[in-house]
A = this chain, B = another copy of it.
Amino acid sequence: MYSYVINLQCPKCNKTYEKQREQHLCVCGSPLLVQYDLDRVKTEWSKEQLLQEPLSLWRYHPLLPVEHPSQVVTMGEGMTPLLPMEQYGAEIGLSRLLMKDDGLLPTGSFKARGAAVGVSMAKALNITELAMPTNGNAGAAWAQYSARAGIKTHIIMPLDAPEITRKEVVAAGGNLSLIDGVISDAGKVVAQKVKQEGFYDVSTLKEPYRIEGKKTMGLELCEQLNWELPDVILYPTGGGVGLIGIYKAIQELFQIGWVKGEMPRLVAVQAEGCAPIVDAFHAGASESVFHEGSETAAFGINVPKAIGDFLVLNALYQSKGCAIAISDETLLEEQKRVAQLEGTFLCPEGAATFAAAKELARQSWIQPDETVVCLNTGMGIKYPESIDVHAEEVAKV
């Protein structure tokens, strides 16, 4: 069996939906989660078999929704490095600080994971044309994977989204529109287009498979730690799909018996200029409130109200995690500090997780010898404006 998918289920009202059909939100308005026959996976799949699989996220095909290898649309994504960050760790007082570097994916960001699985499913469902709002990187990834699958794309992004992501959409032949607003404004236009034109809606969590791709971050990092769970995982949280995905991944690994012990404490890292999850967490709320007038240099996490906020908050509460907001000034400083000490040029969102680790270590919320994983969600080169260059011009000899 290539996949052990059973169906889709609503985490709010438990209603189930058929697999292999176009599905979006539950009738109750909640995103849907993919269910697998985990008892069979436990019996029929082994860590030894995993070693024979390709070096991409597709090695986890039993826990992915794609049912036939021929439906896989891939550019070789996955199995990104889990790197020790010893120098920076020493500076902030953490002896086991690691980074999962999801910049090393096609399209230069972690969005490739969701796009690879999402586009593969769209292809399996014979979709020919899709639409989505994006803060840039997701649109770039979906446009590129869709091109590979022969699917037309309609991408709407804010004028302030990283300019390079526009180039990626256009290079892949995507239909790009810009909007003077935030991702929620783009989302409203997409909703209208979907209604009018019948495009397949792949807005965050309105399409149930992106999360399955993001889940592989959690699967991979457990494998790379030789199936020992880390103590803390820090994740830059906009829509929060990756955090929900990592939580789901580790739950599934518990159920198939591949990991034991405590669920890692999940940390949602946001920017001070857009911190609805942090506010909700501190209020002990189960949902977030729309953050008016949001703004941050970490553009990928400028999401004023995430449709899956209740799933993110649930993962934080269940894992005894927390949520923390970082100022733009601090995250841009840490971006430089990490590059200088470790050589790794992170995206601002990724840098925010290091600033958060530093602050949580200072507060002793993280202990010095705990195993801590920061998720870098993209390459720094996608954000050239985050670095100022002063260089001397030399004369020829």
Task: Tell me which residues across on chain B come within 8 A of A180, comparing CB atoms.
Answer: 393, 396
Give chain B nearest CB distance to A59 CB in angstroms. 11
Q: For chain A, residues 119 to 154, give those with C-beta under 8 angstroms from any C-beta of chain B.
A: 143-150
Flag A360-397 by CB within 8 Å of B: 1 or 0 each.
00000000000000000001111010011111111111
Q: For chain A, residues 170 to 194, give those with C-beta under 8 angstroms from any C-beta of chain B.
A: 170-173, 176-181, 185, 188-189, 192
Question: Which of A56, A81, A83, A156 has the most C-beta atoms of chain B within 10 angstroms of its own C-beta?
Answer: A81
Task: Tell me which residues across on chain B come within 8 A of A103, comparing CB atoms.
Answer: 106
Does A176 contact B389, Cβ atoms closer than 8 Å? yes
Give chain B nearest CB distance to A120 CB in angstroms. 12
Tell yes or no: A285 within 8 A of B by CB: no
Q: For chain A, residues 310 to 350, give those with C-beta under 8 angstroms from any C-beta of chain B.
A: 335-336, 339-345
Does A172 contact B340, Cβ atoms closer than 8 Å? yes
Does A167 contact B389, Cβ atoms closer than 8 Å? yes
Task: Tell me which residues across on chain B come within 8 A of A343, comparing CB atoms.
Answer: 75, 106, 143-149, 172
Tell yes or no: A97 within 8 A of B by CB: no
Tell yes or no: A80 within 8 A of B by CB: yes
CA distance A379 to B381 in the complex (A): 10
Does B156 contact A394, Cβ atoms closer than 8 Å? yes
Task: Tell me which residues across on chain B come within 8 A of A395, comparing CB atoms.
Answer: 179
Does A188 contact B397, Cβ atoms closer than 8 Å? yes
Tell yes or no: A90 within 8 A of B by CB: no
Does A166 contact B396, Cβ atoms closer than 8 Å? no
CA distance A145 to B170 in the complex (A): 32
Does A76 contact B55, Cβ atoms closer than 8 Å? no
Does B342 contact A178, Cβ atoms closer than 8 Å? no
Tell yes or no: A164 within 8 A of B by CB: yes
Does A177 contact B394, Cβ atoms closer than 8 Å? yes
Q: Which of B55, B75, B392 is close to A344, meaning CB atoms less than 8 Å apart?
A: B75
Interface residues of A (CB under 8 A from B): 51, 55-56, 74-76, 79-83, 87, 101, 103-108, 143-150, 156, 159, 163-164, 166-168, 170-173, 176-181, 185, 188-189, 192, 335-336, 339-345, 379-382, 384, 387-397
Given contacts A177-B391, A177-B392, A180-B393, 18 further A-B contacts (CB under 8 A): A75-B83, A101-B106, A103-B106, A108-B381, A144-B339, A145-B343, A148-B342, A149-B343, A166-B389, A170-B387, A170-B389, A171-B339, A171-B340, A171-B387, A172-B339, A172-B343, A177-B394, A178-B393
Provide a sorted-by-A list of 22 A–B residue pairs whose CB atoms are within 8 angstroms.
A75-B83, A75-B344, A76-B82, A87-B148, A87-B150, A103-B106, A104-B104, A106-B344, A108-B381, A145-B343, A148-B343, A148-B344, A149-B343, A167-B384, A171-B339, A172-B343, A176-B391, A178-B392, A180-B393, A192-B397, A379-B379, A381-B382
